[in-house]
Chain A
Amino acid sequence: MLVRIAVAVLAAGVVAVAGQGPAPDGDVEKGKTVYVKNGCAGCHGLEGQGAPTSGPRITPPLPLEAFVKYIRAPRNQMPPYTAKVMSDEELKDVRAFLAARPKPAPSAVVP
């Protein structure tokens, strides 16, 4: 019944500078399904916006090759996602979903 300590999942390498990377290549809707079903949203939020205590913002995503490389062999606390649980095609769809996320609101909305 006791909760373990907070898991600080760091996947900073997955975050790219805004505007970086090629145009989305993959199926956004399929990517959304995979993103939610496979638990990416559990740490990074349903829109990839990140949370301080679990995982950083991952929108916009890294270029595809770096994106896949990091997820297969993360450097920090993030658990590995091998091709056995998420295929390259699925990762391409996930990346497309992340790349298609709406632009953030203007910072003035935050009080």
Chain B
Amino acid sequence: MDKKVPVHRREFMKRAAAAGAGAMAAPPFLQGQTASGQAAAPTPPAEPQAEAAETLTGGRSGSDFMVDVIKALGVPYVCANPGSSFRGLQESIVNYGGNAQPEFLTCLHEESAVAMAHGYAKIEGKPLIVLAHGTVGLQHASMAIYNAWCDRVPVYIILGNTLDAVMRYPGVEWVHSVQDAAAMVRDYVKWDDTPISLQHFAESAVRAYKVSMTPWAGPVVLVADAELQERPIPAAHSPLRIPKLTLASPPQADSGAVAELARLLVNADGPVLIADRAARSQAGMERLVELAELVQAGVVSTLPNTMPPIGPGRMNFPSRHPLNQTLRSAAAIAEGDVVVGLEIANFFGAVNSYRDQIERSSRPATRTGAKLVTITAGELSSKANYQDFQRYSEVDLALAGDAEATLPSLIEAVRRLMTPDRQRAIADRGARLAEASRAARERARTDATHAWDAVPISTARLAAEVWAQVRSEDWSLVNGALSGWAQRLWNFEKYYQYIGVSGGSGIGYGAPAAVGAALANRKYGRLSISLQNDGDLLYAPGVLWTAARYNIPILFVMNNNRAYHEEVMHLQRMAGRRERGIDRAHIGNAIDNPSIDFAKLAQSMGVHAEGPIANPNDLAPAIRRAVATVKGGQPALVDVIVQPR
């Protein structure tokens, strides 16, 4: 990022001094006119006056007050690549604020800064602040903002910009300025504002925090004008105050609709609950367990963008709970007569099968006559341009409300309707689901034993070897899943044990989001693990340095298949259809010749690293050593050469 030279702001200082004295000079276009609009008598030119002594230092500045506001919001960290358009604010954070609450964390790319905040919020449930230039910084950050938007995660972005053209230093400051800084990302942020006074900044800053946290959560943008940051606060300035922050309670669905859903669930032959972003907390998970056990419903946890059969998503439900049917999701959904989607972005994809052949086709994946129901706060929040809202779903009942917030009233409504007769009727169903779930897990274990000793290492073997080393720790899988093997072989019980994927499927999210999540996990003493794709890390590998610089403990285990392998498969599909060159699918997609040495890359940034490891028998000791490093408070990386899938 370009850095600008210091700028004299003499004109501005003069103006500030004048404002501080309560004076208001008439602008040139009004001079010579009276209040009545009649021409006044011409006046002789004034005698030149001696120039007043230039004011070169000032006391408390606007950005000091901005730090007061940020402190009032309780934001612990600011993630940023430094930039001159917010130099005032950065200096205030470092000196006025004492670089604590918030602490300034140096990031080596704005995309990494936003993704770190994204990952942090998925563990902690609160936003971090990201600082960026309103132009080049935001352009770098934009994909990560889109990910956070699609993932419904709060991220708080403050942009530096110089709106007043006459205040801009010629040159770089002009190309780093923009009329409407937030315009570029307005389609995928919840709210933005460009305050023109410090009091305006305070109110909008508090409002932005509140908006970002209200379900659906999402990113917000506040523009901190450079003049507003750097201008000293005049002694005569009217008192500034920071408004009280009161978060909005999440919206619950209408009580009549809740009662109707309860009736459907109690009387169902085979209710199925599909959860995507339903649980935000351990309490949310426990409520979903309570509901499922009350009606003996099968539960499927899904990723937001996956095609059928849907796969394991972020934590909503314990992976080895007898009612968890995620490993047999297609069969479970096909059996359901009442299928309920809880904060599921892609409900159409969950209840329909879809073929990606020349003639794309879909058909219902549910049984005939199944009642389809959705509960989502997404009903209350719509935008048009970006298509993350997925295909329209024809449902029988659509509850507009936050799923986690609605669960308590739904549980109560179910309890009121449940009778001893119904309880007896559903008991057998629970036993059948438990057996199906057990069998699915056993099949997964059997599948994992195939190619156990293969070189390169199978993804199943790698998942098993990592699990063997972390299972006795308080662990948190903050990125990656090794083609779904982690969810098949590991025992997930806590809400923080898997935080899902990027949201917008934009590569470059994984590593920085993992570091941000590990930052949040640090104070709880959790062992954070990233099953790290090679292509993802290569977008902005400097986040390894950030992890080392700030002693963020995290275990990176490379899922290094030396390719953008998803794209390899897409190219194979195209070539197969066209009956040509199916052996050339690696072109444009392989990351080899030369192969990248991730251990050396990590070591160069101060991270303990080993590898590349291609022999499965070398895995356990290397991972054990890396875990010891992480438990000592440092990041570590083990580079593992794995099979494509």
Contacts and interface: CB of A to CB of B under 8 A. Distances in A.
Interface of A: 1-10, 37-39, 41-55, 57, 59, 76-77, 79-82, 84-86, 101-102, 104-107, 109-111
8 A-B pairs with the lowest CB-CB distances in the bound complex, closest first: A52-B484, A79-B576, A47-B451, A49-B450, A105-B452, A51-B645, A49-B451, A104-B449
Given A5-B505, A42-B568, A37 B583 contact: yes
Interface string B447-461: 111111110101110
B464 interface: yes
Contact of A3 (B467, B471, B564): B564
A8 B448 contact: no
B614 interface: no
A64 B573 CA distance: 23
A46 to B, nearest CB: 5
A79 B577 CA distance: 7
Contacts of B454: 45-47, 49
A interface SS class = loop
Contact of A1 (B449, B450, B506): B506
B483 interface: yes
B356 interface: yes
Contact of A7 (B445, B456, B458, B569): B569
Contact of B583 (A38, A104, A107): A38
25 contacts: A5-B306, A5-B307, A6-B305, A39-B572, A42-B585, A45-B645, A47-B454, A49-B450, A49-B451, A49-B454, A51-B460, A51-B484, A51-B485, A52-B311, A57-B450, A77-B307, A77-B355, A79-B573, A80-B357, A80-B576, A80-B577, A81-B576, A85-B579, A109-B452, A110-B464
Nearest to B450: A49
Nearest to A45: B643
Contact of B645 (A2, A42, A79): A42
B337 to A, nearest CB: 24
B567 to A, nearest CB: 7
B34 interface: no
A102 B453 contact: yes
Interface residues of B, number: 60
B511 to A, nearest CB: 14
A105 B573 contact: no
Contact of A53 (B450, B506, B645): B645
A106 B467 CA distance: 18
B619 to A, nearest CB: 12
A39 B573 CA distance: 10
Contact of A46 (B308, B446, B456, B504): B456
Nearest to A104: B449
Contacts of B504: 2
Given A3-B564, A46-B454, A51-B460, 16 more contacts: A2-B506, A4-B566, A4-B570, A39-B569, A43-B569, A46-B644, A47-B458, A49-B451, A52-B485, A76-B355, A79-B576, A85-B575, A101-B451, A105-B449, A110-B445, A110-B449
Nearest to A56: B447
B138 to A, nearest CB: 17
B468 interface: yes
B580 interface: yes
A7 B566 contact: yes
A3 B644 contact: no
Nearest to B445: A110
